[in-house]
Amino acid sequence: MSCYFRHLKEIFREANIEVTAENRKQIDQAIHSMFGVSYKECPVTWKALKREVLLDEPKRQAFIARLREAIR
The pLDDT value given to residue 52: 87
Write the pLDDT tens digit of every residue in 4-57.
999 999 999 999 999 999 999 999 999 999 999 999 889 999 999 999 898 899
Which domain range does residue 64 map to? 5-71
3-class secondary structure, 44: helix
Q: Structural domain tally of the chain? A: 1
The pLDDT value given to residue 47: 93
Alpha-carbon gap, residue 54 to 58, rounded angstroms? 10
The pLDDT value given to residue 1: 52
- b (16+ CB within 10 A) / e for 3-35: ebbeebeebbeebebebeeeeeeebbebbbebb
Phi, psi angle pair for 56, to nearest 5°: -135, 110
The pLDDT value given to residue 72: 83
